Amino acid sequence: MILVTGGAGFIGSHACVELINAGYDVVVVDNLVNSHEKSLDRVRQITGKRPEFVKADVCDEKAMDAVFSKYDIDSVIHFAGLKAVGESVQKPLEYFSNNLDASMVLCKVMRKHGVHNLVFSSSATVYSGDNEMPLTESSKTGNCTNPYGWTKYMSEQIFKALCVADPDLSIVLLRYFNPVGAHESGLIGEDPQGIPNNLMPYVSQVAIGRRDHLTVFGDDYDTTDGTGVRDYIHVVDLAKAHVLAIQYASGHKGCEVFNIGTGKGSSVLDIVHAYEKACGKKIPYVVGPRRAGDLATVYADTQKANKVLGFKAQYDLERMCADSWRWQTMNPNGFGD
């Protein structure tokens, strides 16, 4: 059985679908601080099977011990964590405490129960800002610009140290680039609380009429159209990478890092235009100042994941926008209805 922490969330719920489709039994632990249990009902609608669910905080060692005692867990995918960059600047203690305690408690309980395989949700945010593009797994890390980024960087250090100390451990660190889109059924997707921080959910709320217009954060970057370039990856592609990573982890030892992106950069205006095509409406936007801490261009070198995991993203920008729009129109208020 696979334990999926944070499995009720955006990426976790999509991973549950792909794991169940690949024949795995899944137990989700989530405290629902940023998600709804309804997402797991939707996983059942898609796959015919609802993951087992335990509402608990991954930082609660006793509760996690009980989960490992009750279920026969072979491997863990660890999504649980707080992820809002701006909020992490306002609430650093909450971020360090939640995200680092969760990683450490999980490892303690895994050790106690003899579970050796872990896949961790890391982020392209661990790379420092002065690298050449594309980013490879050996590009420079550190110099994070916010506490959220440091929690990912520090969790990676913890996992690497544990693998040095215990040769039986197998830990896969997946550095995600920009996950977007939704399951093609329109039943699960991203449901941000409040004003979205990230581009695609903001654009989709403009398209549905919940927001007036998009503000483009700067159009004077050294890019083709002056707007920021990122490596957007369909969340279903990303979810499938976790199935490959779990299979890899169970056949290998030690700590391995993989970039998970498409290897292709798209600008803010590329996203606006692709979304306009998907929804058949104009997306009004104004150009504002640059957002502090943003880089002009970030995209992945994906060769390692391709060669070692056999991973290659399938879906293009058009499909990411079409699936995001289907989710948005079928669930204008997310899971909150």
Binding site for ligand UD1 (CB under 6 A): 85, 123-125, 149, 178, 197-199, 202, 214-217, 228, 230, 268, 291, 293-294, 298
Residue 57 interacting with ligand NAD (CB under 6 A): yes
- CA end-to-end span of the chain: 32
Take residue 169 and report the two structure tokens written for it: 């451990």
Q: Which of 148, 176, 232, 299 is catalytic?
A: 148
Residue 12 interaction partner, one of ligand UD1, ligand NAD, none, beta carbon < 5-8 Å per kind:
ligand NAD
Q: Exactly one of 2, 3, 4, 12 binds ligand NAD (CB under 6 A); which one?
A: 12
Residue 197 interaction partner, one of ligand NAD, ligand UD1, none, beta carbon < 5-8 Å per kind:
ligand UD1
Q: Which stretch binds ligand NAD (CB under 6 A): 40-48, 74-82, 132-140, 297-305?
A: 74-82
Three-state DSSP string of 188-206? CCCCCCCCCCCHHHHHHHH
How do 178-180 and 214-217 pair as beta strands?
unpaired
Q: How far is the CB of 207 from ligand NAD (least distance, A)?
A: 19
- Residue pair 41/51 in contact (Cβ under 8 Å)? The answer is no
Q: Which stretch binds ligand NAD (CB under 6 A): 8-16, 135-143, 207-215, 263-271?
A: 8-16
Residue 33 interaction partner, one of ligand NAD, ligand UD1, none, beta carbon < 5-8 Å per kind:
ligand NAD
Sign of CA dihedral 272, 277, 282, 283: negative
- Residue pair 78/118 in contact (Cβ under 8 Å)? The answer is yes
- Residue pair 267/219 in contact (Cβ under 8 Å)? The answer is no
Whole-angstrom CA distances from 205 to 168, 189, 231 are 46, 13, 21
Q: Compute, in degrees rounded to 10, the torsion defined by CA atoms 104, 110, 115, 118.
A: -30
Q: Which stretch binds ligand NAD (CB under 6 A): 52-60, 157-165, 221-229, 258-266?
A: 52-60
Whichever of 184 and 226 has its CB closer to ligand NAD, that residue is: 184
Specify which residues 78 forms β-bridges with: 5, 120
Among positions 21-40, residues that touch ligand NAD (CB under 6 A) are: 29-35
Sign of CA dihedral 113, 114, 119, 125: positive
Q: Is residue 148 annotated as a catalytic residue, yes or no?
A: yes
Q: How far is the CB of 336 from ligand UD1 (least distance, A)?
A: 21
Whichever of 115 and 300 has its CB closer to ligand NAD, that residue is: 300
Q: So which residues are the catalytic ones? A: 148
Contact set with ligand NAD (CB under 6 A): 5-6, 8-12, 29-35, 57-59, 79-83, 98, 102, 121, 123, 176, 179
